[in-house]
């Protein structure tokens, strides 16, 4: 029937029922989705969402670790720690950077000269990264900033690790100093996942070399805070772990003796244990006070150090390169004996000069030494004898033996600042545009002059090899790390290995006997190094600064020869080898040998051999 007759159309009823069914299904789906979301929130990810909610009402504070100490081989403190405070600026927390700057201008009294530059850099270029405004807050400034902490949450006082140097400038070049990490260093150390912007790290010396081990591991404190950001409760603490303590091979007493013996003269001292390669003392003069770098060195102090004519920033024991002078003659003797170009008893006549074609090469003694054999040539340091021996050897063999005994290459020192000196040869001469090698060049090298360059550390190591008849251990200043059971971020890098020089044992004897007489014989040039009851062997040397035709004492100080002395003791039980250079000191016997004697005495006293 029609709709108008009172009966419903079955198609309409079906459509209505279908709509109801679909609406029910949709409602059911919504309910199931809500139930699933509820299950997700309350069951599956409840921990994640709790942490997110907690993060919105909590604050994490990084705990900086205490830096590892540096101690000498006997556990005596060399570098310690002291607390310090710096001012950091968080631009994203500032409501008005202008107001922040006005506060700083009004309340800070002792600030770096580039404070404004640091502040503006943070605001304009790094708004989401904190910037250090004051590296080391003065006590009064610290109190004023702390009193206004709630008004200026963007200004935070942070504790920073500062070093304490109980011995002043002792071994300053070796130890190095600290400074704030820069972007290049952040990238360099990125794989360690150890550092963040603003961290204080080693910038030079051992502080830099072993920073990942000295630095320690950061900790964290998490606090519950209220809506205003005020701390209400400590939620969790993961403590910081201190860095490892670095134990040096240096002996504090020997180091102090070496520094006192050299005094304020320019130069270097290296004392090494011949069998192990342990560096017992290493001195560079002039030096600087490492506490100048605490909290960042001022521009004035930095410029003063850089412009000082004495070059106090130069690390002379490992980066100073000098002609070795007559301290190189024992190597020429060893080479000549092995190559059989001389016999120990063969004599060469010294009239006070040596002729090579039209050129005349002078001996240091104008009247000459007369007939000299190997022993007397070393004891009295006859140049003429070694001119002739050098000519017989030739530069190729001289260079080969110099490299065999460690010259011209790294000593294995566990600092990456070492220079290698120079062992010249004809290839080097041509390569550097100096033209063909001349025989006169060979004569100069044979007496330790000319283009030949060595570092004081290389020379000390060579004399250690003479003492031990060929043992050439790698030089090092790290004895070990005290880990105290704490895990390390990285393992300490292995120390370089040493080697034994391939040289006949029997051929050392004539050279060693002569070097002992350099110190003990009446005509020896090293008498100032004599120690009662101790057999000392050594060699004096002078390194020419300029060609001269006048007596050294008549020259201006800065033009005088450098004075060398290298030695070891006791001769038959070597415990220490020493190299000393006094820049512009004149004669090695009077200027450098007394320094070496005091260093040797200090160590022999420690080990009970004097």
CATH number, position 124: 3.30.1390
Q: Verify that 155 and 258 share a domain, yes or no.
A: no
In this predicted structure, what is the pLDDT of residue 126?
66
**Secondary structure (3-state) at 580:** strand
Tell whether 543 is covered by a domain: yes
In this predicted structure, what is the pLDDT of residue 17?
64
Tell whether 300 is covered by a domain: yes
Tell whether 127 is covered by a domain: yes
Tell whether 524 is covered by a domain: yes
**Secondary structure (3-state) at 582:** strand
Q: Verify that 155 and 263 share a domain, yes or no.
A: no
In this predicted structure, what is the pLDDT of residue 38?
62
Contacts of 448 (CB under 8 A, 6+ apart): 323, 324, 325, 326, 327, 328, 329, 541, 543
Q: φ and ψ at 311, to 5 degrees?
A: 55, 60
What is the rounded distance in angstroms from the CA atom of residue 272 to the CA atom of residue 465? 11
Q: Verify that 444 and 300 share a domain, yes or no.
A: yes
In this predicted structure, what is the pLDDT of residue 551?
47
Sort strands 279-285 and 70-71 into parallel, antiparallel or unpaired. Answer: unpaired
| Residues with active-site annotation | 326
Closest CA to 173 of 279, 64, 52, 63: 279
Q: In terms of residue numbers, what domain contains 451?
A: 253-478+508-589
Ranges of residues in the chain whose predicted pLDDT is under 70: 1-24, 26-27, 29-30, 35-56, 126-128, 226-231, 484-490, 546-559
Q: Verify that 285 and 152 share a domain, yes or no.
A: no
Structure tokens at 74: 């006997």
* Final residue in a domain of this structure, among 160, 177, 196: 160
**80 near 164, Cβ under 8 Å?**
yes
Structure tokens at 553: 């004492």
pTM of the model as a whole: 0.83
Structure tokens at 322: 């000098």
Tell whether 464 is covered by a domain: yes
Closest CA to 91 of 157, 156, 160: 156
Closest CA to 335 of 395, 377, 383, 408: 395
Structure tokens at 287: 């030096």
What is the rounded distance in angstroms from the CA atom of residue 361 to the CA atom of residue 95? 80
Q: Verify that 264 and 129 share a domain, yes or no.
A: no
**489 near 193, Cβ under 8 Å?**
no
Tell whether 29 is covered by a domain: no
Cα torsion at 204, 206, 207, 213 (round to 10°)? 140
Q: At what angle do helices 383-393 and 329-339 cross, to 10 degrees?
A: 50
In this predicted structure, what is the pLDDT of residue 44?
56
Tell whether 50 is covered by a domain: no
Cα-based angle 119, 121, 127 (whole degrees, multiple of 5)? 90
What is the rounded distance in angstroms from the CA atom of residue 136 to the CA atom of residue 84? 7
> How many domains are contained in the chain?
2
Tell whether 228 is covered by a domain: no
* Final residue in a domain of this structure, among 160, 195, 213: 160
Structure tokens at 374: 């190997």
Hey, CA dihedral for 550, 552, 558, 559, is it positive or negative?
Answer: positive
Q: 394: domain CATH number?
A: 3.40.710.10
Q: Verify that 140 and 277 share a domain, yes or no.
A: no
What is the rounded distance in angstroms from the CA atom of residue 84 to the CA atom of residue 160? 5
* Final residue in a domain of this structure, among 160, 184, 206: 160
């Amino acid at each position: 029937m029609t709709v108008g007759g009172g009966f419903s159309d079955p198609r309409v009823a079906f459509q209505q029922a279908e709509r109801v069914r679909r609406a029910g299904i949709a409602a059911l789906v919504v309910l199931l989705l809500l139930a699933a979301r509820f299950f997700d929130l309350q069951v599956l990810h409840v921990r994640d969402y709790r942490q997110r909610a907690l993060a919105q009402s909590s604050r994490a504070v990084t705990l900086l670790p205490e830096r590892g100490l540096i101690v000498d081989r006997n556990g005596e403190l060399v570098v310690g720690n002291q607390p310090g405070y710096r001012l950091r600026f968080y631009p994203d927390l500032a409501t008005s950077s202008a107001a922040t700057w006005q506060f700083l201008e009004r309340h800070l009294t002792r600030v770096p000269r580039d404070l404004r530059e640091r502040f503006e850099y943070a605001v304009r270029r790094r708004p989401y990264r904190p910037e250090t405004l004051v590296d080391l807050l003065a006590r009064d400034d610290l109190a004023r900033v702390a009193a206004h902490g709630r008004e200026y949450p963007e200004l935070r006082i942070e504790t920073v690790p500062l070093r304490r140097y109980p011995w002043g400038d002792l071994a300053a070049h070796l130890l190095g100093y600290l400074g704030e990490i820069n972007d290049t260093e952040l990238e360099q150390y990125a794989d360690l996942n150890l550092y963040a912007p603003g961290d204080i790290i080693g910038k030079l010396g051992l502080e830099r070399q072993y920073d990942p081990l000295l630095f320690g591991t950061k900790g964290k404190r998490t606090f519950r805070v209220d809506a205003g950001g005020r701390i209400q409760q400590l939620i969790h603490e993961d403590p910081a772990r201190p860095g490892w303590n670095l134990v040096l091979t240096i002996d504090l007493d020997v180091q102090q003796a070496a520094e006192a013996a050299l005094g304020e003269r320019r130069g270097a001292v290296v004392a090494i244990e011949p069998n192990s390669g342990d560096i017992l003392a290493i001195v560079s003069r002039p030096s600087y006070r490492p506490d100048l770098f605490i909290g960042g060195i001022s521009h004035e102090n930095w410029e003063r150090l850089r412009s000082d004519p004495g070059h106090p920033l130069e690390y002379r024991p490992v980066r100073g390169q000098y002609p070795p002078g007559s301290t190189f003659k024992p190597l020429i003797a060893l080479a000549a004996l092995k190559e059989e170009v001389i016999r120990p008893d063969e004599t060469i006549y010294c009239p006070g000069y040596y002729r090579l074609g039209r050129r005349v090469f002078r001996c240091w003694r104008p009247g000459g030494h007369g007939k000299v054999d190997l022993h007397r040539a070393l004891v009295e340091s006859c140049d003429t004898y070694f001119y002739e021996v050098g000519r017989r050897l030739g530069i190729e063999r001289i260079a080969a033996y110099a490299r065999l005994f460690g010259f011209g290459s790294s000593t294995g020192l566990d600092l990456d600042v070492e220079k290698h000196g120079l062992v010249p040869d004809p290839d080097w001469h041509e390569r550097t545009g100096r033209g063909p090698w001349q025989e006169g060049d060979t004569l100069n090298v044979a007496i330790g002059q000319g283009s030949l360059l060595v570092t004081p550390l290389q020379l000390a190591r060579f004399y250690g090899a003479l003492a031990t008849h060929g043992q050439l251990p790698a030089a090092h200043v790290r004895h070990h790390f005290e880990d105290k059971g704490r895990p390390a971020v990285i393992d300490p890098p292995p120390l370089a290995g040493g080697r034994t020089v391939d040289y006949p044992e029997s051929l050392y004897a004539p050279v060693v006997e002569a070097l002992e007489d350099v110190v003990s014989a009446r005509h020896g040039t090293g008498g100032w190094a004599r120690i009662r009851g101790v057999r000392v062997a050594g060699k004096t040397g002078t390194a020419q600064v300029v060609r001269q035709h006048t007596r050294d004492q008549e020259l201006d100080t800065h033009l005088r020869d450098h004075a060398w002395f290298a030695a070891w003791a006791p001769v038959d039980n070597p415990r220490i080898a020493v190299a000393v250079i006094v820049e512009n000191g004149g004669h090695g016997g009077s200027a450098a040998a007394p320094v070496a004697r005091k260093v040797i005495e200090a160590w022999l006293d420690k080990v009970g051999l004097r």
